[in-house]
């Protein structure tokens, strides 16, 4: 059974985590970038789960394989590359989170552009409680989203935060009452973005992603607009 499923409706593509509880076994890290290569003419991508968003890395399937191979980086780099591929998608990526969003699941949504959740959502980085360090990009991306102090709180305590805390921290920009309302809002937002000029969305994402020093960033934005207005 595949761990992700990609569907299309109009200009919106939806990537659904289909493994039980949205877990991420070894196959996930191959299937995720494969799915991203099939976005086609989609202008917006929604990332969501089924029964919950994601229970994170399938530790029972992953750690024994890493230990047996004896090649830690050979096993972990494809996981890092997969989430880097999400961050590098040129169209807007909306994460729609309901239920638990744990560990690698939180690192996945940190690689997205916009994040919405339902009122029952919970977010955590529990790696420290397993004697590990979060190593799939969360510690690099989250400070730019919620700040260094709040990232430090998540990473050092491993404790979860609820939906309203996530909203007050800026991790999500909207909390919907139910998962059904969440998915409807994500689709409405995707439709709204799909109506905007794709080249402007791409350029805006690029400027935000590269986060160049102030003067260079101003020049980058200006050069993009100069090219667009020719």
At 91-132, the pLDDT tens digits run: 999 999 999 999 999 999 999 999 999 999 999 999 999 999
Q: Domain of 222?
A: 197-228
Residue 215 and residue 137 share a domain:
no
How far apart, in whole angstroms, are the C-alpha atoms of residue 32 and residue 59? 18
**Given pLDDT bands bounded at 50, 70 and 90, which one contains residue 23?**
very high
**Given pLDDT bands bounded at 50, 70 and 90, which one contains residue 66?**
confident
| Residue 90 CB-density burial (10 A; 0-12 exposed, 13-18 middle, 19+ buried) | middle
What pLDDT does 220 receive?
A: 84
Residue 157 and residue 206 share a domain:
no
Residue 213 and residue 103 share a domain:
no
What pLDDT does 226 receive?
A: 78
More confident residue, 2 or 68: 2
How far apart, in whole angstroms, are the C-alpha atoms of residue 107 and residue 32? 14
- In 39-105, which ranges are E strands? 44-48, 93-97, 100-102
What pLDDT does 224 receive?
A: 76
pLDDT of residue 221 exceeding 90, the answer is no
pLDDT of residue 77 exceeding 90, the answer is yes
Cα separation values, 76 from 26, 65, 72, Å: 10, 11, 6
Residue 109 and residue 59 share a domain:
yes
Residue 217 and residue 162 share a domain:
no
Residue 188 and residue 202 share a domain:
no
- In the chain, which ranges are E strands? 4-9, 12-17, 44-48, 93-97, 100-102, 114-118, 122-124, 161-162, 175-176
CATH number at residue 88: 3.90.226.10
Residue 121 and residue 204 share a domain:
no
Buried b (16+ CB within 10 A) or exposed e, 107-136: bbbbbbbbbbbbbbbbbbbbbeeeeeebeb
103: left (phi over 0), alpha (psi -120 to 50) or beta: left
Residue 97 and residue 27 share a domain:
yes
**Given pLDDT bands bounded at 50, 70 and 90, which one contains residue 16?**
very high
Indicate the DSSP class of residue 57.
Answer: B
Residue 187 and residue 116 share a domain:
yes
Q: Worst-scoring range by mean pLDDT, 171-180, 188-197, 213-222?
A: 213-222
pLDDT of residue 87 exceeding 90, the answer is yes
What pLDDT does 223 receive?
A: 82
Residue 207 and residue 165 share a domain:
no
What pLDDT does 146 receive?
A: 98
How far apart, in whole angstroms, are the C-alpha atoms of residue 162 and residue 78? 30
Predicted model pTM:
0.95
Question: Which helix (H) or strand (E) segment is 69 a member of?
Answer: helix 59-69
**Pair 178, 119: CB distance under 8 Å:** yes
Residue 116 and residue 73 share a domain:
yes
Number of domains comprising the chain: 2
**Given pLDDT bands bounded at 50, 70 and 90, which one contains residue 12?**
very high
Residue 96 and residue 19 share a domain:
yes
């Amino acid at each position: 059974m595949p761990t992700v499923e990609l569907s299309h409706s109009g200009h919106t593509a939806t990537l659904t985590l289909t493994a039980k509880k949205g877990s991420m076994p070894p196959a996930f890290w191959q299937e995720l970038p494969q799915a991203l290569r099939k976005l086609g003419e989609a202008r917006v991508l929604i990332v969501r789960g089924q029964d919950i968003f994601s229970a994170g890395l399938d530790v029972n399937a992953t750690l024994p394989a890493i230990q047996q191979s004896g090649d830690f980086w050979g096993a972990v780099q494809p996981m890092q590359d997969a989430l880097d591929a999400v961050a590098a998608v040129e169209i807007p990526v909306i994460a729609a989170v309901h239920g638990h969003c744990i560990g690698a699941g939180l690192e996945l949504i940190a690689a997205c552009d916009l994040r919405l959740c339902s009122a029952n959502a919970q977010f955590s980085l529990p790696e420290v409680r397993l004697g590990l360090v979060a190593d799939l990009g969360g510690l690099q991306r989250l400070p730019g989203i919620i700040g260094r102090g709040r990232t430090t709180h998540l990473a050092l305590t491993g404790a979860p935060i609820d939906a309203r805390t996530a909203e007050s921290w800026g991790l999500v920009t909207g909390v919907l009452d139910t998962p059904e309302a969440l998915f409807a809002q994500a689709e409405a937002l995707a439709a709204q973005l799909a109506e905007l000029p794709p080249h402007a969305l791409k350029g805006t994402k690029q400027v935000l992603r590269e986060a160049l020093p102030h003067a260079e960033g101003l020049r980058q934005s200006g050069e993009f607009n100069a090219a667009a207005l020719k």
